[in-house]
Amino acid sequence: MDEILIISGKGGTGKTSLTAAFAHLAKNHVICDLDVDAPDMHLILKPENSQSHDFISGHEAVIVEEKCESCGTCLDMCRYDAVKNEGDRYFIDPLKCEGCKVCVEFCPAEAIDFPDRFCGRWFISDTRFGPMIHAQLFPGEENSGLLVSLLRKKAKEMAEEKGLELILSDGTPGIGCPVIASLSGVSLAVIVTEPTPSGRHDLERVAELCGHFKIPAGIIINKSDLNEKEAAAIEKFAADKGLVIFGKLPHDPTITKAMINQQTITEYADNEFTRELEGIWKKILQSVTSR
Amino acid sequence: MKIAVASGKGGTGKTTVASSLVSVWNAPVIAMDLDVEEPNLHLFLKPEFTGSRIARMEIPEVDQSLCTLCGKCSDLCQFKAISLMGEILMTFPEMCHGCGGCIAICAEKALRPSYRELGEISWGQAGKTDFIMGRLRIGEAMSPPLMREVKKKLNEMQLDAPKDVITDAPPGVSCPAINAVMDSDVIVLVTEPTPFGVYDMKLAHEAFTPMNKPMGVVVNRAGLGNSEIYDYCSAKNLEILAEIPYERSIAEAYASGVIISESSDKMKQLFLELAEKIQQKAGEVRRG
């Protein structure tokens, strides 16, 4: 079973629109949206018959006012600046609490509760292109890396159970926790970039991350006609690092029209963009199967 | 006054708005890039760097000769960063959140502080603007600890003469984004009028609302998609502070590393008005 992850470093380069199009072009696959923080692929794929599951992960500290003796131990020991006080009244800012339990453990009055944190929901759904695993972290919540790992496990189980050969995943921008959790052990990372200073800078960092974890990676240059100098610099970077360029796509507002129509670009438009994308998908599959 | 430029969805134009605001700001200002995973603000402000330091986080180091294998540290650790494996106490440095609990609970003093490198903080000058950024080490999973270190450096810079701060925040609505906006006085949400842009802006609006800070919206690429964003903003009483039109020339200027407010008089005017509206939102109207 192969796992292909689409990432970008920089946000807004077209990851999700392209992943949705690949979901249309691929066969015998599970679709996975690993952007659990700001997921968007469901807006195009319109998942149905979703089974919903709670994602409970970690804990948060809550001071019980009646038991608190206002000694200030929690305030002194918290490394996250999460404990606040107004005079003798102590309380914890849930946005800053990391759930480390230090205040709970060291409170001499045993006045701090440590309930589970209900961080979000995850779903198994049907789409017109096959089964889809996705999630929504509640706004402001944490533990996205653990939720990403959980989704990947569920996607693997589903692929095995249904005899499907491919997991196609949409990733998160950045190079931190959720990206690292998405990346470990995938067959191929496809990096979608754009020829802008930010696009190239962020591509270089995410490509280095793939190298760090020894994950094979290739590049798609989206909006490639925006700046030819930057596009050439990206091609040179790829050549220097031995990264394959799967293809170049033009800056095309049709992709937004498709999005508004809740369709992939490959469903919406029979144009050059679509044909280019079909070629790119073939190359991606060849790259995975020829390993 | 502290302004955070945030978005939900990535690539909507946070850095475009932050760099342009810095360029037209009419008071002493510090530009801070808190998107430590993929910092981009320096690519546009092009600061001259005058200093840097490696940011580190405390993690435990075991002295096996003092460890009695009591297991109190591994019982306390919520992040599986320290664990008894038979007769050996193992640490997993990459999992550690640096809470210090294991070191504090060890009666035998078998754990002492060591450090994990988080990344680098660097600072300098972009014209009259003070500049500060963090850059996460490749392979480091946690960005909030580095963001906290960047903010510490900001506080040092603010000691002599406090200045306004314009922060470029990371995308998303989870812990890194929350960490970037929690200390600001005003949040500027940058979005685009597309289904993805609207959906992610709703998430961001929901995530930031409990903080009770004034919020306003900048619609980038106005004219590109549909009108849903305007319906949402009017339903939620969210003021649209500015609309940056969808024009290929703007995209091309951005692609060549130009600060958009410096690309034309029209854009300069747009950002001057935006800056004024933000200052009004913060309740601190300044004379031009």
C-alpha count within 13 angstroms, C-beta hemisphere, residue A232: 4
Identify which of A8, A101, A145 has the shortest CB distance to residue B78. Answer: A101
Residues A99 and A141 placed together within one structural domain of the fold: no
Name chain A contacts of B199, Cβ cutoff 8 Å.
38, 40, 43
Confidence of residue B287 (pLDDT cuts 50, 70, 90): very low
The pLDDT of residue B129: 97
User: Which long-range contacts link B105-109 to residues 24+ away (Cβ below 8 Å)?
Assistant: B105/A105, B105/A106, B105/B72, B105/B73, B105/B76, B106/B72, B106/B73, B107/B70, B107/B72, B108/B66, B108/B67, B108/B68, B108/B70, B109/B63, B109/B66
- Do A28 and A134 sit in the same domain of this protein? yes
- Confirm if B189 and B214 have CB atoms less than 8 A apart: no
One domain for residues A192 and A152 = yes
The domain that holds A99 is classified in CATH as: 3.30.70.20
Interface test with B, best of A15, A36, A95 (most B CBs within 10 A): A95
pLDDT at res. B194: 96
% of chain B beyond a pLDDT of 90: 95
Contact A72, A179 (CB under 8 A): no
User: Can you say whether residue B144 is alpha, beta or left, with left for phi > 0 and alpha for psi between -120 and 50 degrees?
Assistant: alpha
**Beta strands B129-136 and B111-126, pairing class:** antiparallel
- The model's confidence at residue B284, banded by pLDDT at 50, 70 and 90, is low
Confidence of residue B161 (pLDDT cuts 50, 70, 90): confident
Three-state secondary structure call for residue B23: helix
How does residue B222 score in pLDDT terms, banded at 50, 70 and 90? very high
Q: Note whether B52 contacts A: Cβ–Cβ < 8 A.
A: no
Please determine, for residue B35, whether its predicted confidence score (pLDDT) is greater than 60.
yes
Phi, psi of B218 (to 5 degrees): -110, 120
Same domain, A109 and A210: no
Q: Does A198 touch chain B (CB under 8 A)?
A: yes
Verify whether the Cβ–Cβ distance B78 to A140 is below 8 Å: no
- CATH at A192: 3.40.50.300
- Nearest chain B alpha carbon to A205: B138
Domains of chain B: 2-55+121-281 (3.40.50.300), 57-117 (3.30.70.20)
- A105 CB neighbours in chain B (<8 A) are 76, 101, 105
Q: Sorting pLDDT into bands at 50, 70 and 90, what band is B285?
A: very low
> Are residues A23 and A69 located together in one domain of the fold?
no
Residues of A in contact with B15 (CB under 8 A): 198
Out of A38, A194, A256, name the one closest to residue B9 (CB): A38
Confidence tier at B283 by pLDDT (50, 70, 90): confident
Pair A104, A160 in one domain: no
Residues A285 and A184 in one domain: yes
Q: Quick one: A227 and A256 in the same domain?
A: yes
- β-bridge pairing A83-86 and B164-168: unpaired
Give me the percent of chain B exceeding a pLDDT of 70: 98
pLDDT in tens, A46-70: 999 999 999 999 999 999 999 999 9
For the record, the structure tokens of B207 come out as 């995530």
Find all residues with CB under 8 Å of B46, minimum gap 6, and list them: B126
Residues 83-122 of B with CB under 8 A from A: 97-101, 104-105
- In chain A, the number of structural domains is 2
Write out the residue range of the structural domain in which residue A85 sits.
61-114
User: What residue ranges of chain A have pLDDT lower than 70?
Assistant: none
Q: Which of A87, A114, A141 is the last residue of a domain?
A: A114
Residue B276's contacts (CB-CB under 8 Å, 6 or more residues apart) are B285, B288
Q: Report phi then psi at A131, rounded to 5.
A: -70, 150
Answer whether A155's CB lies under 8 Å from A30's CB. Answer: yes
| pLDDT value at residue A291 | 72
From chain B, pick out residues whose CB is under 8 angstroms from the CB of A253.
Answer: 224, 246
Q: Are residues A125 and A188 in the same domain?
A: yes
| A191 and A92 part of one domain | no
* In the predicted structure, residue B49 carries a pLDDT above the cut 60: yes
At A141 the pLDDT is 85
Decide: A116 and A59 in contact? Cβ < 8 Å.
yes
Burial status of residue A187 (CB atoms within 10 A of its CB: 0-12, 13-18, 19 or more): middle
